[in-house]
Each structure stands twice: as C-alpha cells, then as structure tokens.
Amino acid sequence: MQLTQQCISALGHAGLFENRAHMSRFKELMNCFENYPFFSRGLCKCMYLSAWDDEHFLVMLETLNVLALDKSRDTQIMSDQKDELQADTDEDSQVIIQLSDAWLKNQHYDVPFERLTEGGAYIIRQGFKAAEIIDQLFVQAARQR
C-alpha cells in the first residue's frame, strides 16, 4: 500500500482528521509531493498540521510548489522562511511554525503550552498524535525497502 494511503487510513482510524476537508487537503498534499526528493517524515507531519484549514494549506501548497519547480532536494527554504512567516501571526501560529521547523530538522521542540489558546493547544496535541503514527509508518516503510 502506498504511503499516502497508509497515512490516511491510519490517521483516519485514529480519528485525527477533524473533518473531510482536513483529510482531503492532507491527501492532496501527500499525493502531489510524496515522490519528491524533499519529502520526509518531518514534512509529512507539517502537511498534517497545514491541512487543518484552507489558509495554512494554501501557504504549504505554494511553498511546496516552489520547491518542486526549483527541483529542491530538501526543505531548507522552509526553515529559512520561518521568521518571515512568524512576523505577523498570533502566538498559536508562531508556536506551530516553530514546531514544524523542528519536525523538518528532525529535532525535539518543547511546546510552551502555557502560551497557547485552548484551540492552539488542541491542534498541537492532535499533531503530536499524528506524528507518532507517521513515525511508525515511516519506520515500517524503511523496513520494507
């Protein structure tokens, strides 16, 4: 089974899609970019978070299209744009961007939950649940190669 389908199935089974639109946006990102050299488990986790709503989905889609057109082999440009993205955003979005950057770099990030709204904390907690499943799927995929 293709990684996209495995992710959608596992995340859906775990109840981690907020609605059909969330699942559809995630599926679109995965289908479009899973086979690019810059695709990684960290990016997959970021895709899950960005698929939460149209606004963040469109930012991710635009960024990944640039990477694809530039024939990028990594997501360094996303880390480079982190400060620019955070400039005019609320606290929740700033923390989500920092978490996403850590995931892209395969680094640990201590989320300052005390600074988040209830909604922001919920999104990040769901993101961590999804991240565990995504990690497991990537490990399984690596074993099968």
Give pLDDT, residue 45: 97
Give pLDDT, residue 1: 53
In this predicted model, what pLDDT tens digit does every residue of 133-142 receive, in sequence order? 999 999 988 8
Q: Which of 3-17, 49-63, 79-93 has the lowest mean pLDDT?
A: 79-93
**What are the extents of the domains in the chain?**
3-144
List Cα–Cα distances, 16 to 25, 72, 91, in angstroms: 13, 30, 23
In this predicted model, what pLDDT tens digit does every residue of 102-119 receive, in sequence order? 999 999 999 999 999 999
Alpha-carbon distance of 87 to 81, in angstroms, equals 10
Name the pTM for this structure.
0.93
